[in-house]
Structure 1
Amino acid sequence: MAYQQAIFKDQEFRTRILLSLQSSLPNEIDWAFNTLIKFSYASENFSLDFIPTLIDLLLDFTVDFFQHEIGKDQTVTDVFCSKAQQETYERVLQVFHILRNFSFLEMNIRRLAVHERLLLLLMKGIALPPNSQYGELSRHCLDILENIAPQVSLVSREDPYLTTMIHLLFTNDRAYILGAIRALTRVAVTETNERVLGYADLDVIQRMAQFLMIDDEELAAAALEYLYQYSSLRGNFSVQLIKYYPGNLVGLLTGFLSYKSSLAPPSVSAIGTLHGIPAAQMIKVPESNSSQKPTIPDLTNYQHLDEPYRCLGWYMMQQSVKFDYSHFFSFAIRLKDQLMSGTEADTIVLKDIFAEYKKLFGAEKPLGLKEFYTVLKIAFPQPPSVEESFNGSDPVATILCNVKLSPTRRREGPICHWDGCNQSFDSSADLHKHIIQTHLNDSTQCCWMKCTRALDDKQQAIQHMRTHFANKTKKQLPSKQTFTVTKIPIDESEVSGIPLTSALLLRNLARNKQHHTFYLPYESELTLVAIQRPKVSKYILTVLGELQVN
């Protein structure tokens, strides 16, 4: 039977709730609380604006507890020593239980966040020792404070909300620590809080560093989300994070890119993962039943591959030597098939080599100029003047220094099949010119492939060569060359949780030029991870691209 939500939103329902809460009859009050608890669980679109006085009416039931049971100094007294005290505490639990349930609805967090009386009581509740008999009440208060965080406006660094959450970071209760980290992360989403939160706290950074080093995935994921969110703010948080972090943060984050999560489910977007650990903590990632792990595709047929394998294959297929994976990475980076290191006098225009690549894959979404230049710069570091030129108004006209075309590079055009030649060319016209100038000047016999016909003079030789091309020049495809690549595991799964947040944090830190020196030892490892884990490669390419901007 369909659930009729309308019965809970009419005037009769509102009037009955208000009258029952203000009644002196215990049965009426019990009915109101039991109804509100059930309703707060079931309703998905109830706004507290429908009953504006509901919050204050509920909080009226907590006055005696906070004034007499807890006392003005908030010291814990002996609870449950009488039935009346027990009933008072249970009623307070019901109040905050109802408000907690309503705080999960986005339409209600604004009204709860600006309610000063509620905030004051939440701070008192959260100050209760978590290991006392009031632990359940403290957890309800923490959940509400975490849920309303996006609508909390901080006045200064001494704001009670901020100081309370930071204090909880240094407790020994894991639930408190997790709730505090998430609350601090969510409060930073509000743009008006940037001026307060854009500057790092040394003690908090060191505390987050401790969370990243312990074997607790949920805690580490929450700490990473905190660092990512704060590094996205305007201010000097990123600079202070690198300065104050007690260890090698870039190295740690690079290692996290290959982390295998057991908590966070695959996510279709970055936004779906951030702040998503609590809802996913009981979901296990299913293990693959496949006995064979995915591997790097056959780069021989690179024309049909997607990036970045197509680009790697294009470079690698120019070589006739065989090699295994131990040489694969350094070979792909150096690009020795097309270019080689030169002297100070050797230069080449970037658009020439880029045009050669685009000529093959221009209609198939090739790598962009920035990514292409990043690959080249890793192999052939350029002076600052070249960097300035590339970052100028016409980057494609950049003149690369200390690099030249390799004399042994294999072109994509036809190949000369004259005995002992096997030279490649960019076009058929270049091949014909080569045959006439190189092979037919002094030759008395045709040596094209297995032909042995005698040639009397050059004119006759030219006429004879036309028979080999059948009066219509066809593009000669490069001979298929094979090479050995040792199979390595490729993780095609979606990235979420720790790996994704680590990649986003690396990107934020790389935007600051003074951090680039911390990345230098990890450029090769970052590129390798991009190959082994394609789903995170787009974030790594962004990081590598930032490192090329000096």
Structure 2
Amino acid sequence: MAPPRPSNPVEYNEFMKKLAAYHEKRGTLLDPTPKVAGKSIDLLQLFNYVVAEGGYDKISGIKLAWRKVAADWGFPANNIAPPAFSLKSVFYKNLAAYEISTIHGKEPPPKEILEDVTAKGTGLMSRTLENYRPAGRESGALGNENSDISGDDGTPARERNESEEVLGSGGRVTRGLRQAPPQRILFQPETGSSRVTRNVSATSHAPSPQHNSHQYHQQQQPRGASTTNNPSSNMENMSLAVANYEPRPHHPLTLRPIVTPGNNPAEFARRQKFLNDAAAGKPLPSKQSGIMLPGKYFDGPNIYVRCLQALRSGIFSEQNYALHHLVKISMERGDKYRFEGFPGLAEALVEKVMEVASLFFKVNWQVAYTEEEMMSGPYMLNGIDGTPDILLRMAKHAKLYVDDNIYTAEFADKMLQINEAALTLRNMVMLEDNALYVSDLAPLRDLLSIVLNLPVVDSVVELKHYALDIAEQITKYLHFDETDPLYISLLAQLQSDDRGAILTSLRAISRISMQLEENNLLKGVPATAIQNIIDWTLLNDEDLAHACLDFLYQYTAVVDNVDFLLANVQVEPLVNQLVRLLAYGARHAEREYALTRDGRVPAPQRIAPLPRDLLPQLIKLDEPERSSQWLRCLFEEDPEESITQIALWQAYQACFTPTVSETGHALLPAADFIKNVSTTFGDKAAAQVQPGVVQKFIIKGIRMRSAPVGLNGEEALGCKWKIKENSPELCREYFMSPEEVHKHILKAHLGGVEKENGQWENKFGRQYTCLWTGCTRFKTAPATTLLQMANHIKVHLPPKPVGRKGVDDGPPPMKKLKPSYIVSAPRQAFSYQVTATDDRQDAAGIPLSAVLVLRNLARNLSKTEAEEAALKSEGGVSWVDRLFKPVEQRLFEVMTHNKSLTLYMTDLLSAIKDA
């Protein structure tokens, strides 16, 4: 079979739409993203593959064909059977009926005999309700089951022969097991009487197939090893014994733990006391055998049910116990503690928190779930649909005087229970399943409205924050109109002085209808609240600015809201602030770009001389280390250059031959020296023969350095003093330190004389001219003293490197040097701004929110009534020009310099242009 080919994304999406519509019409369930052994299966890819091979029936009709399909799909061959059957089941459940309808143009079998049964068997196009008999465990058969992981339809059942039908010992044929051979009975000579037994006839045979099972079982079983001298009769009787054998049933053992101080200390202590009392002669308590005393042998409900029942009991002490444990459970086990597993828990917590109203108002709210209860009094809340006039009802009830400085013990205890119940609700709705569950709970919405409209006192601050946290989690599953009590209560929090309440309220309002198809239009927001939000964006508070911009983004997406904004709020300061926020947290970065490619310096024509102050260091080394260090000082790797072996060998000899008599270190032979070149530079340098009219023996892969380097990689300083005043030829001496270069110029070029104390004789009466390359000093007025020239020469030399504190001055450590012959290309630096980005390097944070709000304004300003009125007025200026013309230059700057916002700024400027 050919390996599967990947699906085209466009074809895949079209195919999945048709397949989903087909399953919906057929009334079956489609699994769009099935997985087999952890690997996702592309249904279009699988469909095309099976159809190309002839279809489901053809593949299923070939033994082990599905295993070959699984192998082509990349499943390991060492355990191919399970994924083969799973792959077959995926096609069977999702694509088999679709193949029959679309490819073969036939009516597929009903789902009762197709999708509702397993994928065993084949012949789908010929399967009907009359001829189909489920195979294996589906039909209750025990003797011809096909393996669920075989990848095919199993091994066909072996035909029974007549002996198997008769004897019964081989009557049970199982898949994969061979028939047991007949038992061998060794020949035993007859030692007793030849008289046959009373119960068994000498000519008894196994019952024929016509005998019924009752007659078959009525026969007496033979006793002893043999009943006749006929071996065949003995074999038949033995087969009967084996066929009728039934194993003795096993009874489970009853295990009782031994009472020890470790596993049951209380019972162990009780028994010890009983034994001690018996030894002391004390009267023993009477035994009540058969009577289970109350409270014994029953552990009671688990802690979850116990807390639920205690909370619903109404008993103050029990509720203390329940709320204490519920807070702990919701905090530690919140990821597994779900409301749907404990019916009534959410309602009980809501009713408990609702008791807070009776502490501040003359009211005792109760939740009613029937029409009769709802009509029973003004204190009843609608537990089915909610109470739309809850705020009006609260306003009608008189407030109670509560001293916010001193609380009574009863008030403090009740508030503690109420806060614990609210905290439990808050912790549990942090789980998405619980938030979705309670979003349909109408009393909870009434409760949040009640709590958010409690008096502004310190005792309810904690409770209000819990209520806002709950609202933040559930508003994404709710849709509000502008008259909804909870929506009005959340908007009222925007007038608060509490930063936490404002921040959570903004988040809750911005999340309204997030998980629903209905759009949140944010109708009825007061102008004072909008002005507060605009003012809060001026604060240096990142979290608050995020929440305000999220609100403004959703608010400005509606044309009517933008119209309201233009009529009631000054929008120019808002636009200016949003433009400033485009650079929030921006940092400047630079990046260099090469204008051309790096260049190469031509190789020198001759080998540079070894620095004089470096030669003593090399002389001390033994071979071949000395030659290796010499090579690194004067040569470097270059795959495009080469040097003749004779020139290299002669330079080596010229450098170290004069030192042989002084040091006693002999030179390497020529052959060993050439080998050492490859050892020093690795495989990049190799001895070769250059073909031509005259063959040359060269070393390919190295070149002469323009300037030698030291043992640690530091570059030597060359003397750039001209040999003659009008000659371009320079002194070719190199030194490892500026002091040595200075000393060399004074002595070799200026004729200075160094004293024994290291000082120089300051000569007079002679004119000194600086012949350093490019220097024009002392050209017209030469120096008259050597001291004057010596001070001037230091200008051309680099300063002496200063060692770090605590570190001795010395050469830097050896490092990988950049090839000296590479000339870096000219580069140009570009500066740009970088603002916050996400993991995908896309814009994020406050700058992104700011540009999205600006884009909403640019798109919707031209659609407002205020824009039409401005254009109709005499000399009127459109709102788009009024708001964006003053900042247009800044917007182009942000688009140019901020890479992460470029796409969004382009959309904004396009919207401004099209408005």
Partner of 1:101: 427
Query: Partners of 2:845 and 2:400 in 1: how far apart?
Result: 40
Aligned ranges 1:228-247 → 2 under 5 Å = 228-233=553-558, 235-247=559-571
Paired letter, 1:90:
L
Alignment partner of 1:250 is 2:598 = no
Q: Percent identity?
A: 24
Deviation for aligned residue 1:95:
0.5
Q: Deviations over 1:432-480 (max 9, x none)?
A: xxxxxxxxxxxxxxxxxxxxxxxxxxxxxxxxxxxxxxxxxxxxxxxxx
Instruction: Confirm or deny that 1:189 pairs with 2:490.
Output: no
Instruction: Report the alpha carbon displacement of residue 507 of structure 1 after superposing the two structures with TM.
Output: 2.1
Aligned residue among 305, 326, 334 for 1:15: 305
Q: Do structure 1's residue 179 and structure 2's residue 504 form an aligned pair?
A: yes
**CA root-mean-square deviation:** 3.3
Correspondences of 1:257-336 after superposition (within 5 Å): 257-260=582-585, 294-298=589-593, 300=595
Conserved 8 A contact 1:153-1:192: no
CA distance in 2, matches of 1:301, 1:529: 29
Contact 1:188 1:229 in 2 (8 A): no
Q: How does 1:111-190 map to 2 (within 5 A)?
A: 111-154=437-480, 156-187=481-512, 189=514
CA contact (8 A) 2:562 2:861 kept: no
SS at match of 2:583: coil
SS at match of 2:590: coil
Match of 2:327 in 1: 37
1:151-199 per-position Cα deviation (integer Å, ceiling 9, x unaligned): 2222x32211121122111122222222222222112536566475257
Q: Does 1:490 align with 2:823?
A: no
Query: 2:418 corresponds to which residue?
Result: 92
| Counterpart mapping for 1:222-233 below 5 A | 222-233=547-558
| Distance in 2 between residues matched to 1:299 and 1:198, nearest whole Å | 56
Partner of 1:58: 349
Tell me the residue number matched to 1:417.
none
**What SS is found at the alignment partner of 1:298?**
strand
Shift in Å, 1:530: 2.5
The letter of the residue matching 2:417 is: R
Kindly report which structure 2 residues correspond to 1:213-228, keeping only aligned pairs within 5 A, or say none.
Answer: 213-228=538-553
Are 1:538 and 2:867 counterparts? no
Pick one of 44, 61, 67 that aligns with 2:358. 67
**Unpaired stretches in structure 1, ≥5 consecutive residues:** 1-10, 262-287, 303-480
Distance apart, 1:505 and its partner CA: 1.2
CA distance in 2, matches of 1:64, 1:490: 56
TM superposition shift of 1:75? 4.1
Amino acid of the residue matched to residue 491 of structure 1? V
The answer to whether the 8 A contact 1:490-1:533 is kept is yes
Deviation at 1:493, TM superposition (A): 4.8
Q: 1:130 to 1:37 in 2, by over 3 A?
A: same
Q: Paired residue for 2:854?
A: 506
Contact 1:189-1:229 at 8 Å conserved across structures: no
What is aligned with 1:77? 402
Secondary structure of residue in 2 paired with 1:511 = helix
Task: Determine the C-alpha separation between the residues in 1 that align with 2:489 and 2:357.
Answer: 18
Q: Partner residue of 1:110?
A: 436
Q: Distance in 1 between matches of 2:349 and 2:416?
A: 13
Q: Residues 296 and 490 of structure 1 are in contact (CA less than 8 Å); yes or no, is this contact kept in structure 2?
A: no
Name the aligned partner's letter for residue 500 of structure 1: L
Deviations 1:120-171 (A, max 9, x none): 22222222344422221122112212222112222x3221112112211112
CA drift of 1:13 comes to 5.2
Cα distance 1:130–1:168, how it changes in 2: closer, same or farther (>3 A)? Answer: same
User: Contact conserved, 1:200 with 1:241, CA < 8 A, in 2?
Assistant: no
How big is the shift at 1:502?
Answer: 0.3
Judge conservation of contact 1:200–1:236 (CA < 8 Å) in 2. Answer: no
Aligned CA distance change for structure 1 residues 199 and 91 (closer, same or farther; 3 Å): closer
Please report how far the alpha carbon of residue 105 of structure 1 lies from its aligned counterpart in structure 2 after TM superposition. Answer: 1.7
Asked if 2 retains the 8 angstrom alpha-carbon contact of 1:128 and 1:135, the reply is no
Preserved CA contact (<8 Å) 1:209 1:246: no
The verdict on how the C-alpha distance between 1:175 and 1:528 changes in structure 2, with shifts beyond 3 A counting, is: same
Does structure 2 conserve the Cα–Cα contact (< 8 Å) formed by 1:157 and 1:196? no
Give the TM-score normalised by structure 1: 0.53
- Which protein is bigger by CA-based radius of gyration? 2
Q: 1:522 to 1:81 in 2, by over 3 A?
A: closer
Task: Please state whether the residue corresponding to 2:543 is helix, strand or coil.
Answer: helix
In terms of fraction of residues, the more strand-rich structure is: 2
Mapped to 2, the partners of 1:492 and 1:177 lie a distance apart of 27
Matches within 5 A, 1:372-387: none
Change (3 A) 1:180 1:525: same
Aligned partner letter, 2:343:
P
For 2:401 and 2:500, the matched residues in 1 are separated by 21
Quote the offset at 1:534 in angstroms. 1.1
Farther off after superposition, 58-67 or 109-118: 58-67
Equivalent position of 2:647 in the other structure = none
SS across alignment from 1:189? coil
Q: Calculate the TM-score normalised by the size of structure 2.
A: 0.33
Q: Does 1:211 align with 2:536?
A: yes
Conserved? CA contact 2:482–2:523, under 8 Å: no
Q: 1:74 to 1:104 in 2, by over 3 A?
A: farther
Is the Cα contact below 8 Å between 2:476 and 2:516 reproduced in 1? no
The amino acid of 2:493's aligned partner reads: L
Q: Gapped runs of 5+ residues in structure 2?
A: 1-300, 364-397, 598-824, 838-842, 863-878
- Structure 1 residues 511 and 14: CA distance shift in structure 2, 3 A: same
Residue 550 of structure 2 contacts residue 849 of structure 2 at CA under 8 Å; is this kept in 1? yes
Alpha-carbon distance change, 205 to 23 in structure 1, aligned in 2, over 3 angstroms: closer
Q: Distance in 2 between matches of 1:85 and 1:47?
A: 31
2:470 alignment partner, SS class: helix
Distance 1:98 1:78, change over 3 A: same
- 1:29-68 superposed Cα distances (whole Å, 9 cap, x missing partner): 4443233212212322433122221022223434654224
Whole-Å Cα distance in 1 between the matches of residues 836 and 482 of structure 2?
A: 41
- Counterpart CA distance in 2 for 1:186 and 1:230 is 12
Q: Distance in 1 between matches of 2:419 and 2:436?
A: 22
Residues 152 and 540 of structure 1, relative CA distance in 2, 3 Å threshold: same
**2:442 is matched by which residue type in structure 1?**
E
Per-residue Cα deviation, 1:317-363 (whole angstroms, up to 9, x for no partner): xxxxxxxxxxxxxxxxxxxxxxxxxxxxxxxxxxxxxxxxxxxxxxx
- Kept in 1: contact 2:895–2:902 (CA 8 A): yes
- Paired amino acid for 1:133: S
